[in-house]
A and B are shown apart, each in its own frame.
Chain A
Amino acid sequence: MSRYQDVIIAGFGGQGVMLIGNLLAQAGMEHGLDVTFIPVYGAEMRGGTANCTVVMDEHAIGSPLVRRPLSTIILNQPSLEKFQPRLAEGGVQIVNSSLVEKSALEPQRRTVYIPVNDMAHRLGSVKMANMVALGAWLKATGALPPEAVRDAMHRVISQHYARLIPANVKALEAGYAFV
Chain B
Amino acid sequence: MSDCLIKGNEAIAFGALDAGCRCYFGYPITPQNEIPEVLSALLPEAGGSFVQAESEVASINMVLGAGSCGIPAMTSSSSCGISLMQEGLSYMSGSHIPGVIVNMSRGGPGLGDIGPSQGDYFQAVKGGGHGDHRSLVLAPATAQECYDMMFRAFELAFKYRNPVMVLGDAIVGQIKEPVLRRPPADAPGAAGLEERAADWRLEGYGRRGPDATPRLLKSVYLAEGALAARNRLLQEKYEAMKAETSVACTDVDDADLVVVAFGSIGRIAGSAVRLLRAEGCKVGLLRPVTLFPFPEAALQQLAKQGKRFLVIEQNLGQMIEDVRLAVRGIADAAWHGVMPGLFIGADALLDPIRDALREI
Q: Which residues of A contact B (CB under 8 A)?
A: 22, 25-26, 29, 34-42, 61-68
- CB A174 to nearest CB in B, in angstroms, measures 26
CA distance A102 to B115 in the complex (A): 34
Q: Which residues of B contact A (CB under 8 A)?
A: 3, 5, 31, 113-115, 170-171, 174-178, 267-272, 274, 343-348
CA distance A37 to B3 in the complex (A): 15
CA distance A65 to B269 in the complex (A): 11
Contact A62 B267 (CB under 8 A): yes
Q: Given contacts A37-B175, A62-B267, A62-B268, are A67 and B348 in contact (CB under 8 A)?
A: yes
Contact B274 A62 (CB under 8 A): yes
Contact B171 A62 (CB under 8 A): no
Residue in B5, B113, B115, B346 whose CB lies within 8 Å of A26 = B5
Known: A65-B345, A67-B345. 18 other contacts (CB 8 A): A22-B5, A25-B5, A26-B5, A29-B3, A35-B177, A37-B177, A41-B31, A41-B114, A41-B170, A42-B343, A62-B271, A63-B267, A63-B271, A63-B346, A64-B171, A65-B268, A65-B343, A67-B348
Residue in A40, A61, A68 whose CB lies within 8 Å of B347 = A68
CA distance A67 to B342 in the complex (A): 12
A26 contact set on B, CB distance < 8 A: 5
Which residue from chain B places its CB closest to the CB of A27 in the assembled complex?
B5
Which residue from chain B places its CB closest to the CB of A66 in the assembled complex?
B345
A41 contact set on B, CB distance < 8 A: 31, 114-115, 170, 174
Contact A35 B171 (CB under 8 A): no
Residue in B178, B269, B345, B347 whose CB lies within 8 Å of A34 = B178
- 10 examples of A-B residue contacts, CB within 8 angstroms: A25-B5, A35-B177, A36-B176, A38-B175, A41-B31, A42-B113, A63-B271, A67-B345, A67-B347, A68-B345
Contact A65 B344 (CB under 8 A): yes
Q: Given contacts A35-B178, A38-B174, A38-B176, are A63 and B268 in contact (CB under 8 A)?
A: yes
Contact B176 A42 (CB under 8 A): no
CA distance A34 to B142 in the complex (A): 12
B31 contact set on A, CB distance < 8 A: 41
Contact A25 B346 (CB under 8 A): no
A68 contact set on B, CB distance < 8 A: 345, 347
B269 contact set on A, CB distance < 8 A: 62
A64 contact set on B, CB distance < 8 A: 171, 175, 177, 267-268
Contact A67 B5 (CB under 8 A): no
* Nearest 4 Cβ contacts at the A-B interface: A62-B271, A63-B271, A67-B345, A37-B176
A61 contact set on B, CB distance < 8 A: 177, 271
Q: Given contacts A22-B176, A63-B267, A65-B343, are A38 and B171 in contact (CB under 8 A)?
A: yes
CA distance A25 to B175 in the complex (A): 11
Contact B268 A36 (CB under 8 A): no
Contact A35 B270 (CB under 8 A): no
CA distance A62 to B348 in the complex (A): 14
CA distance A99 to B268 in the complex (A): 34
- CB B284 to nearest CB in A, in angstroms, measures 13
Contact A40 B271 (CB under 8 A): no
Which residue from chain B places its CB closest to the CB of A33 in the assembled complex?
B178
CA distance A26 to B3 in the complex (A): 10
Which residue from chain B places its CB closest to the CB of A156 in the assembled complex?
B5
Contact A25 B268 (CB under 8 A): no
- CB B144 to nearest CB in A, in angstroms, measures 10
Contact A36 B177 (CB under 8 A): yes
CA distance A38 to B264 in the complex (A): 12
CA distance A29 to B144 in the complex (A): 14
- CB B246 to nearest CB in A, in angstroms, measures 18
Which residue from chain A places its CB closest to the CB of B113 in the assembled complex?
A42
CA distance A42 to B343 in the complex (A): 10
CA distance A37 to B345 in the complex (A): 14
Q: Given contacts A29-B178, A35-B178, A38-B176, are A63 and B345 in contact (CB under 8 A)?
A: yes
B174 contact set on A, CB distance < 8 A: 38-39, 41
Contact B176 A62 (CB under 8 A): no
CA distance A142 to B122 in the complex (A): 46
Contact B344 A67 (CB under 8 A): yes
Which residue from chain B places its CB closest to the CB of A67 in the assembled complex?
B345
- CB A135 to nearest CB in B, in angstroms, measures 21
Contact B175 A36 (CB under 8 A): yes
CA distance A95 to B269 in the complex (A): 32
CA distance A22 to B268 in the complex (A): 21
- CB A32 to nearest CB in B, in angstroms, measures 10
Contact A29 B114 (CB under 8 A): no
B5 contact set on A, CB distance < 8 A: 22, 25-26, 29, 35, 37
Contact A62 B270 (CB under 8 A): yes
Which residue from chain B places its CB closest to the CB of A65 in the assembled complex?
B345
- CB B72 to nearest CB in A, in angstroms, measures 30
CA distance A29 to B174 in the complex (A): 17
Which residue from chain A places its CB closest to the CB of B176 in the assembled complex?
A37
